[in-house]
Structure 1
Amino acid sequence: MIEIKDLHKSYQMGSNSLHVLKGINFSVKEGELVSIMGSSGSGKSTLLNILGMLDEADTGSYFLDGMPIKNLNEKIAAKYRNQFLGFIFQSFNLITYKNAIDNVALPLYYQGIKRKERIEKGMHYLSKVGLADWATHLPNELSGGQKQRVAIARALASEPKVLLADEPTGALDTKTSYEVMELIQGINDEGKTILIVTHEPDIADMTKRIVNLKDGVIIDDTIVKQVKAAAYV
């Protein structure tokens, strides 16, 4: 599903160059649930941005579902993101003046799907995350956990190949974090490929594989016995 070989990325900082990723080799099979861990400055956010086609490596190769991701203009990158990827953010990134159902249906608008079908699919995914009764509520009427559930439903609505979650529990309390992880585990159990960037060891333990980054290199990549979030909810 994801294949990265010898990935390097540097940023120019004034007269200096900051080498952030230093030869990353990394692959993810379809249906995996992987956490990427590392301290600030380890390169995990840069790696996620490259995986999400929000940034591009200097050298190396990136294949997503067999397709080379290289030298894409913004229009093509946006098309591929909408086709292949669903994003879940720490800050939810919901549109404040749109209700839950319209937030969930938004990616379908960019796929050219008619409004009636968008709403039907949006309701399906809101129901999937347990929020069908909150469809007409605005984000400011929802709790943090509910907002993240809406964001997960939105990420699923376009039926992406891969979900990329950037600190999806970072803005939530412990109980709500585990509820969100229970939902994510359930989605993965249905076969969806999911990558989670996190700095929280207990959240990483709820995935099936932990990749540790330090100073731009992978120092450890281990398949782990998954802790089920349901045990803590």
Structure 2
Amino acid sequence: MIQIKDLHKSYHMGSNSLHVLKGINFNVKEGEMVSIMGSSGSGKSTLLNIIGILDEADSGSYVLDGVPIKNLNEKVAANYRNKFLGFIFQSFNLINYKSALDNVAMPLYYQGIKRKERIEKAEYYLEKVGLTPWLNHLPSELSGGQKQRVAIARALASNPKVLLADEPTGALDSKTSQEVMELIQGINDEGKTILMVTHEHDIAQMTKRIVHLKDGVIIDDSPVQQVRASVYV
């Protein structure tokens, strides 16, 4: 599903250059659930942004579901993001003046799907994450866990090949984190490929493979015995 070979990325600040990724080799198979860990500045967010087609590497290759991702103009990049990828962010990134239903339906608008079908799909995915009673509520009327469930429903609505989660439990308390991870694990159990950045070891243990980054290189990439999320904490 994801094939990355000898990926390099630097950022230039005036006369200085910061080499963030230093020859990353990394593959993810369809249906895997992988977490990326590393301290601040290790390169994990940069790697996720490149995989999410939000940034581009300086050199190396990145192939997503058989499609080489290289030198894309913004229109093509946006189309690939919409076609291949679903995003879950720590800060939820919901539109405050739109209901949960409209937030979930929004990506489908950009796919050219008619309103009736958009609403039906949004209702289906909100039901899937247990939020049918709140579908007409604004984000300000929802708890943090409910907001993240809306974000997950929105990510799923366009039926992406890969879900990219950037610290999906970072803004949540322990119990709500367990609830969200239980939902994410269930999505993976259905066959969805999930790639997640986290700094929380207990959350990483709920995936099936942990990749450790340090100073722009992968220092460890190992399968783990997955810990199932439990809401009874």
Q: TM-score, normalised by structure 2?
A: 0.99
Distance across 2 between alignment mates of 1:225 and 1:5? 27
Mapping of residues 191-210 of structure 1, within 5 Å: 191-210=191-210
**Structure 2 residues not aligned, in runs of 5+:** none
Report the CA distance between 1:66 and its aligned residue: 0.5
Report the CA distance between 1:232 and its aligned residue: 4.3
Letter in 1 for 2:148: Q
Aligned pair count reads 233
Report the CA distance between 1:13 and its aligned residue: 1.7
Distance across 1 between alignment mates of 2:69 and 2:166? 20
Mapping of residues 1-233 of structure 1, within 5 Å: 1-230=1-230, 232=232
Distance across 2 between alignment mates of 1:140 and 1:215? 38
Report the CA distance between 1:14 and its aligned residue: 1.6
Letter in 1 for 2:44: K
**Structure 1 residues not aligned, in runs of 5+:** none
Distance across 2 between alignment mates of 1:14 and 1:228? 47
Distance across 2 between alignment mates of 1:41 and 1:141? 35
Letter in 2 for 1:179: E
Letter in 2 for 1:196: M
Letter in 2 for 1:139: P
Q: TM-score, normalised by structure 1?
A: 0.99
**Cα deviation 1:76-135 (Å, max 9, x = unaligned):** 000000000000000000000000000000000000001000000000000000001110
> Structure 1: which 4+ aligned runs deviate by more than 3 Å?
none
Distance across 2 between alignment mates of 1:147 and 1:200? 20
Report the CA distance between 1:230 and its aligned residue: 2.5
Report the CA distance between 1:208 and its aligned residue: 0.2
Distance across 2 between alignment mates of 1:52 and 1:72? 13
